Amino acid sequence: MKTIKTISKLAMLFAFVAFANTLMASGNLKVNIVPLTSETAVVAISNTTASNFQISIENEKGEIIYYKETGTDSKDYRKVFDFSNLEAGDYKLAASIDGSTTERSFKIGNKNIAVGKEKSIMEPFFAYKEGLLKLSYLNFSEENLSLNFYDKNDLVYSKKIGDKFNVNEGFDLSKLNKGNYSVVLSTDSKSYTYNVNVE
């Protein structure tokens, strides 16, 4: 639409640098699950910088069945989990720090614990100043992305970004009418919303 223009990649340098600083601060978050028996496993979480981890386990319905925040900053967290009270099925263990999340799926069977692949997710970086909206996002799972701008419930602008890994986008919002807008970045599995006040 005529009211929103994309801006050059050069103008995105600021957003990329800020996003890179966030990425470096979050370090290299790793999650591993090592089965010990058919009902127990060691959960090992590590990061290159000392952090306070938020740890959760979800069942296949998306219900959180376990949540813990570590009390102090550390580079490593290890604990033996007893899964004997869990029903057979699919689960997801997630560790989060500073907008970065690493997940590992696992399956409880009749006589075993099967561990899936690790998946990293980082929240997008949005910045808005002097009419320019900047967006950076690392699409670790290479899902299809779309970006939508809303004025209340009305769609103002839509863009399909595709499945590229490194997303750096800029938009000139200075021609929009004054008011509050919502910017929604959507993946195949999740949406992130950023609110913008155009003055």
Strand partners, 119: 103
**Distance, CA of 72 to CA of 29 (rounded, Å):** 16
Q: Looking at residue 3, what is its pLDDT?
A: 55
pLDDT tens figures, 188-198: 888 999 999 99
Kindly state whether residues 115 and 144 are assigned to the same domain.
Answer: no
Among 104, 121, 138, the domain boundary falls at: 121
Do 143 and 104 lie in one domain? The reply is no
Predicted local distance difference test score (pLDDT) of residue 103: 93
Q: Which of 96, 121, 146 marks a domain boundary?
A: 121
CB contact at 8 A, 106 and 97: no
Average pLDDT over residues 57-85: 93
Q: What is the CATH number of the domain that holds 61?
A: 2.60.40.1930
pLDDT attached to residue 21: 45
Q: How far lies 120's CA from each of 31, 101, 164, 171, in Å? A: 10, 6, 15, 27
Output the pLDDT for position 6: 52
Q: What is the mean pLDDT of residues 20-36?
A: 70
What's the pLDDT tens digit per position in 150-187? 998 899 999 999 998 889 999 999 888 899 999 999 98
Q: Within this chain, do residues 107 and 189 fall inside the same structural domain, yes or no?
A: no
Calpha distance 164→143 (Å, rounded)? 8
Do 184 and 140 fall into the same domain? yes
Cβ proximity of 158 and 186 under 8 Å: no
Query: Does one domain contain both 85 and 130?
Result: no
What is the number of structural domains in the chain? 2
CB within 8 A of 161, min separation 6: which ones?
144, 145, 146, 147, 167, 169
Domain stop point among 76, 105, 121? 121
Domain hosting 102: range is 27-121
3-state secondary structure of 196: strand
